[in-house]
Structure 1
């Protein structure tokens, strides 16, 4: 057999024209490849938009003007200092001692709320005023829960502390703490003196 009689292969250095030998893709395979490429492109675009796109938005609960939050943090810090001087209510040896400690803590919190309310913008003046007003209302509700617990402890040494629900089984402390934390007022969260 002469060297020119056999088909060329890649091992002898000559090129093989694969396009002439390849069969064209069927309609189904071509469609599948196009769809796969489109899906991959969409995923890449979605991630690019998520990571670098124009997603800067004001999250709910964030005050537009942080000046009140700075003042509120100072007010809450003074109240927190008073609470820190008191023993934690859950460490009290008996119910009457726990009730006395809680009553003192509640007075400090009541004074804090009076000061916060005095410095707060009017609820109808802006969205900030509305959010602050709602937050202060939630705080008053929580303080009422604490006052009811003091009264219950005086009557029943085994009384339990119950917190008002705000929405769908969620304790009112959650939105209070969320708003305080999100607006950089860490001392304005509900105290942990009840355990």
Structure 2
């Protein structure tokens, strides 16, 4: 089982009992503001997502980690890797992403989890390049990408929702652990 420990977090595979906690995060309009069309996601869809994320781990050898606080074991969201399947111009790039409950914002958890995930991607999984496809204007996520050493590479438009996106990228040669 793939697990990563950081000073404050455990990044791990998903458990069935994670679904209600992730569903609470997905039901928060503040969290979902920058995701997809901005709509909240219900518990059934969250359960389907968690199942799909686990399948991706089995098929790809990477995926979205459940992120929990080391001290309490509380699930605070996810960070992880996925193919940029919605953006064929980026294939075969792998994207890093994150989503945390709003009560955990502003404490450095997203940066800590994303840094560990980027290191996992570039050093453990041998990827040469990782992108972050962010909704333009999402300053908090842009800050996390900047802290990872990623730089804005190009602008594009979401293929379904037609809003502007910025693709940030980092190559293995630019990465500093």
TM-score (norm. length: structure 2): 0.26
Higher relative contact order (CA 8 A, sep 6+): 1
Looking at secondary structure, tell me which structure has more helix per residue: 1
TM-score (norm 1): 0.24
Which has the larger share of strand? 2
